[in-house]
Structure 1
């Protein structure tokens, strides 16, 4: 992964080690939509104890649900790398797509053509109003990096934050090993 200086659709927001916000502690957020009016993103590395079949009756696979963020946790979102199977997908990065025709998603899961390794589901999302994210960036609360679809789908959630920082090298590699509570160091 590479550090970048500007937030765009498909950017990753990596929480600095001592952010101090329990909603985003050591989180990695994929920016799905960014404009002057605000930003919509999904936390990639917060798991839940739920599966997709727990919240959708006519899906018969046990795909895990991730916590996309603290906003509207009664909504379902998904990222995937199969626009060939899902019409209406929105490209957010190289080989990375957001949303699309949910009926096609359910059908592809149920017949076995959309494996868990090609799609991730999220309840809730992360949202910032006009100027809010820019203010947090000015306070150095987030590190911005370019996303890479293979890493996003192939890396276990509990290794995300540390793995991305290590892949960035230099000062970020050292940051990956900071303790959660420096007083315990």
Structure 2
């Protein structure tokens, strides 16, 4: 399996990855360059409503209307991942990444965004890797690298996201969806 590391690619934590920040996670890559990579964890919702932290943005985020723990880096900041409405890719504050998915600048006045974004999810913090670090982690077997779908980013119930993504993969990788957390207890 040789999916390219690029915006829109998903990283699925393998059973070899023991870092508590990433156990059983699904990470959406937002940017990959020679300097490193940046992404957000898709399946770690918090209990904190977006409206309590970012006011009116709470009215437009996807269900559940909570902040997601995007990763261990800069958790006091927020990244907004949005799905542009058809033709909304050039809207104020929107930076396209892949397909119609992009980053939305939360400093943009909301009235300029209304009608240009179909779906929105906000993440506190992000996951980051330095130059060559992610490639090394993939090579050592810490991550499965698979293509992402728009629905993966905005799924309502994220508890089974990792298993669902694994199940749709070809070959032996799909079998990882049925692997117990501790094979010795099987």
Superposed, 1:54-133 pairs within 5 Å as 54-59=52-57, 61=59, 63-82=65-84, 84=88, 86-100=91-105, 102-104=107-109, 106-107=110-111, 118-133=119-134
**How has the CA–CA distance of structure 1 residues 59 and 95 changed in structure 2, closer, same or farther, with 3 Å as cutoff?**
closer
Over 4 Å off, 4+ runs: none
- String of CA shifts for 1:129-182, please: whole Å, max 9, x gaps: 111111101101111111111333235211210000001132122101111122
**How has the CA–CA distance of structure 1 residues 73 and 4 changed in structure 2, closer, same or farther, with 3 Å as cutoff?**
same
Q: Quote the Cα distance in structure 2 between the aligned partners of 1:50 and 1:175.
A: 31
Query: Is the Cα–Cα contact under 8 Å of residues 92 and 108 in structure 2 kept in the other structure?
Result: no
Q: Does 1:167 align with 2:158?
A: no
Q: Quote the Cα distance in structure 2 between the aligned partners of 1:17 and 1:101.
A: 35
**For 1:53, what is the secondary structure of its paired residue?**
helix
Identify unmatched segments of 5+ residues in structure 2: none
Q: Quote the Cα distance in structure 1 between the aligned partners of 2:48 and 2:106.
A: 22
Q: Does 1:24 align with 2:22?
A: yes
Query: Is the Cα–Cα contact under 8 Å of residues 12 and 27 in structure 2 kept in the other structure?
Result: yes
**For 1:30, what is the secondary structure of its paired residue?**
strand
Query: Is the Cα–Cα contact under 8 Å of residues 9 and 28 in structure 2 kept in the other structure?
Result: yes
Query: Is the Cα–Cα contact under 8 Å of residues 18 and 180 in structure 1 kept in the other structure?
Result: no
Cα RMSD, aligned residues only:
2.4
Q: Quote the Cα distance in structure 1 between the aligned partners of 2:12 and 2:175.
A: 14
1:37 Cα deviation after fit: 0.7
Query: Is the Cα–Cα contact under 8 Å of residues 80 and 106 in structure 2 kept in the other structure?
Result: no
**For 2:48, what is the secondary structure of its paired residue?**
strand
Identify unmatched segments of 5+ residues in structure 1: none
- State TM-score, norm by structure 1: 0.85
Query: Is the Cα–Cα contact under 8 Å of residues 37 and 128 in structure 2 kept in the other structure?
Result: yes
Instruction: Name the count of aligned residue pairs.
Output: 179
